[in-house]
Amino acid sequence: MPRIAELKPNYMAADIGVIISGYMKKRKITPKEMGSRLGISRQAMNYKIEHNSFEYKDIIVIFHELELTDEEILRYVRYK
């Protein structure tokens, strides 16, 4: 897991839902599966994707489950 756990993002890409959705399709992970990993329903996962309403703890789990590299993560999250 990249070293993001100790850093809180100050900025998240405005279209993070689209980005996450694209990586999920690439990795063949359904909203139902990802929602299950987050402890939420498929409908709740779809809502988060559509409204970019991810909490920091959700992002950490999602990035881990999608196996994003440090470079991919830093492309979408900025730190001070």
- The pTM assigned to this predicted structure is 0.77
The radius of gyration of the chain's CA atoms, rounded to the nearest angstrom, is 12
Please report the domains of the chain, with CATH numbers, ordered by start residue. 15-78 (1.10.260)
User: Contact at 8 Å (CB) between 11 and 78?
Assistant: yes
pLDDT given at position 33: 97
Contacts of the segment 57-60: beta carbons below 8 A, 24+ positions apart: 59/9, 59/12, 59/16, 60/1, 60/4, 60/5
Tens digit of pLDDT at every position of the chain (80 positions): 455 555 555 556 668 899 999 999 999 999 999 999 999 999 999 999 999 888 888 988 999 999 999 888 888 776 54
pLDDT given at position 67: 94
pLDDT given at position 10: 54
